[in-house]
Amino acid sequence: MALFEWQKEGFPYLITFASVSLFLLLKFLLKQNNNRNLKLPPCPRKLPIIGNLHLLGNMPHESLHHLAKKFGPIIFLQLGEVPTIVISSARLAKEALKTFDLALSSRPQIFSAKHLFYNCTDIVFSPYGAYWRNIRKICILELLSAKRVQSFSFVREEEVANLVNRVAESYPGTTNLTSMLGLYANNLLCRVAFGKDFSQGGDNVRHNFQNLLEEYQVLLGGFSIGDFFPSMEFMHKFTGMESRLKDTFRRFDQFFDEILQEHRNPDNRKEHKDLVDVLLEIQQNGYPETPLTTDNIKAIILVGAIYF
């Protein structure tokens, strides 16, 4: 009776799994036939469906180094459904990027980035074009110019002094430099970008800001089946990945709404402008050829919070 019940309940899942497996296998065979007509670089032995994914291991950079020693500086890898060329020579990489710069100028829009970075409207994942050139111009001339960086020197000096004090106060006990350096970088970033100090309770506790940053980094760097099998992207609905991305995005979006509302309030004017102030001024007064939306500003700030 128990066996009958298992068959009754598990049969639909078994049919779904078999159908998906058959679909991937057929797609793999069709792609194999198409690739035979192309002149491709050397390729390690592939497995059905997953291709060369099994060769990457836990340390992909080391795996690619060993493959380059065996197959040469240019390798073709089939990463799931995604054909990939790996160049391990600095000279060849420079030549390829110089000759085919327009074709290689855009980063792949990975599944998590599309959900987290406002449909890839940040400077890292947005495709090459007029919008990307405009926000790059804004970052170079307005946000990261020598004059702007110098204007935040007092913040850097104060945070370095705070770091030294924390190290001194930990003596003679154990000093966790990793944690202290992370706190230093986080405080410096928040004061420069948002004009707020999250180091002491308050907003940091209310928004759980540090945990949000860590969650973003985990979601961006983790394995995503949709990045290697685009036809299987719908599976994220069942694995919980999509709901996790949407929840994290919602929390950060609410945080940014509060930050922007505070900066738009004329009663909160500060002596030193932070990056949010600069972007809001640009939105209001500058670059009419490609106007910035509020979501664009959030995306640019968010990349700064994650990568800077």
pLDDT of residue 71: 93
What is the domain partition of the chain in residue ranges?
13-104, 130-307
Going by C-alpha positions, the residue among 191, 186, 184, 192 that lies closest to residue 163 is 184
State how far the alpha carbon of 263 is from the alpha carbons of 89, 167, 194, 273, 275, in Å: 47, 34, 9, 10, 10
pLDDT of residue 23: 52
CA distance 125 to 106: 7
Q: Amino acid identity of 129?
A: G
pLDDT of residue 66: 93
Question: Which is it for strands 82-87 and 74-79: parallel, antiparallel or unpaired?
Answer: antiparallel
Give the number of other Cβ atoms within 10 Å of residue 43's Cβ: 16
Q: What is the pTM of this model?
A: 0.72
Going by C-alpha positions, the residue among 192, 223, 196 that lies closest to residue 209 is 196
Low-confidence ranges of the chain (pLDDT < 50): 1-19, 204-206
Cis peptide before 172 (omega within 30 of 0): yes
Q: Tokens 């890839």 sit at which residue?
A: 120
| Overall residue count recorded for the chain in this entry | 308
CA distance 1 to 4: 5
Contact 42, 73 (CB under 8 A): no
**130-307: which CATH number, 1.10.150.120, 1.10.10.10, 1.10.630.10, 3.40.50.920?**
1.10.630.10
Model confidence over 225-240: pLDDT tens digits?
Answer: 888 888 888 888 888 8
